[in-house]
Amino acid sequence: MAKEITQQISLLHQVIHQLNIRQSDYTSEVTKEYGYLKFDENEFDSTTRLSQYIRLALQTNAKAVVEFLQHGWCLPTPDLIISVIGGGKQCNISAHLRKIFQRGLVAAAATTTHMINYIFHLLTHFSSP
């Protein structure tokens, strides 16, 4: 699995540079903040997997986001993109609140019959307390 992740990160790096995806509206530097997150494992759920994330500038063009999803993450065209905008550095979120937040996103996904791709657009991603 480590070899696959290394190859995927290399592909992401190429696509990010091709699309000139920036991490902030205040810099011309392409984002270096992308990779994988592993949410808390659940002993009753065997579907725990790695989730991908990327930090995007607020003004990132929607077309670039869709192209990134298609070419970077090899996903089909999304029917819906949900952006979560906030300041992670100022957000000391408890494990309980983080789980509630995650459940809310899952509930939002369950309200549609179409595939939903989540783009977490955070100034910084949530860190474990």
At 86-126, the pLDDT tens digits run 655 566 777 788 788 778 777 776 665 443 444 443 333 44
Contact, 78 vs 115, CB < 8 A?
A: yes
* CB proximity list for 91: less than 8 A, separation 6 or greater: 126
b/e 89-109 (16+ beta carbons within 10 angstroms → b) = eeeebeeeebeeeeeeeeeee
What number of H helices and E strands is found in the chain? 3, 4
What burial class does residue 84 get, using C-beta atoms within 10 Å of its C-beta: 0-12 exposed, 13-18 middle, 19+ buried? middle
Task: Please name the helix (run of DSSP H) or strand (run of DSSP E) that holds residue 106, with its range, or none.
Answer: helix 95-110
**pLDDT above 90: percentage of residues in the chain:** 22
pLDDT confidence band for 32 (50 / 70 / 90): very high
Whole-number pLDDT of residue 107? 75
At 53-93, the pLDDT tens digits run 888 898 898 899 999 999 999 988 877 776 766 655 566 77
Tokens representing 120 are 């977490």
Tokens representing 67 are 């192209």
Q: Is 64 strand, coil or helix?
A: helix
Task: Tell me the domain boundaries of the chain.
Answer: 1-38+57-77, 78-129
Whole-number pLDDT of residue 99? 82
